[in-house]
Amino acid sequence: MREVVHEMFSEEQIKEKIVEIAEQINKKYGNEALHVIGVLKGSIFFLTELTKHLTMPVTLDFIAAGSYGDGTVSSGSLSVDKDLDDEIDDLHCLVVEDIVDTGNTLSKIRKMLTARNPASIEFCALLDKPDRRETQVDVEYTGFVIPDEFVVGYGLDYAQRYRNLPYIGSLEWIED
């Protein structure tokens, strides 16, 4: 079995899209301080590029949570491997995720973080696969809406590989 990556969005297209998202966020928050929470590990490329374009005072924290093992099918249950370092009560929070697929991960993260009384909480995802949604979840800022294909690159992995690709591509498995 061979794996082939077919480019879907170039590094340039991704960067342009991220600037657009940052402009929406800058407009929404003005000079209000924003606490940006990255969902490890998939969001890190997106988060670093996005926050470079934010103009309000920004603080960062990370949570490691997900519903994927080493495969491509969501297990449905959320595991929190690393919690936030800091409390979020009274902070305006923006949770940054690589992709919304079934919606299970973000809806569980939303529930968990909302219970900690932030001043506000919004969600941002670089990619959205709406065809696979199982749980309805509000994502205020979305980059690209994509069909039901497994994608890698720009932080997204398959069995922890491909995260460092500078572009996003769909992964195809070919029988030799």
**Interface with Mg ion (CB under 5 A):** 42, 66
Q: Does 103 bind ligand IMP (CB under 6 A)?
A: yes
Helix (H) or strand (E) holding 9: strand 2-9
# chain residues binding ligand IMP, by CB under 6 A: 18
Q: Identify which range of 6-14, 19-27, 88-96, 145-153 contacts ligand IMP by CB under 6 A.
A: 145-153
Helix/strand/coil for 176? coil
Catalytic residue among 61, 81, 83, 101: 101
Q: Does 118 bind ligand IMP (CB under 6 A)?
A: no
Is the separation of the CB atoms in 3 and 106 below 8 Å? no
Say how far apart CA 85 and CA 68 lie, in whole Å: 23
Q: Which of 25, 104, 122, 124 binds ligand IMP (CB under 6 A)?
A: 104
Closer residue to ligand IMP, CB minimum distance, 29 or 124: 124
Q: Which of 50, 51, 94, 102 binds ligand IMP (CB under 6 A)?
A: 102
Does the active-site annotation cover 85? no
Say how far apart CA 123 and CA 167 lie, in whole Å: 22
Q: Does 74 bind ligand IMP (CB under 6 A)?
A: yes
* Neighbouring residues of 145: CB distance < 8 A, sequence distance ≥ 6: 127, 128, 129, 130
Is the separation of the CB atoms in 129 and 157 below 8 Å? no
Nearest distance, CB of residue 57 and ligand IMP, angstroms? 27
156 binds, among ligand IMP, Mg ion, none (CB under 5 to 8 A by kind): ligand IMP
Closer residue to Mg ion, CB minimum distance, 42 or 153: 42
Which of 175, 173, 122 is CA-nearest to residue 152? 173
For the beta sheet containing 151-152, the strands, ordered from the edge strand earlier in sequence to the opposite edge, are 2-9, 168-174, 151-152
Binding footprint of ligand IMP on the chain (CB under 6 A): 42, 66-68, 74, 97-105, 150-152, 156
Active site residues: 101
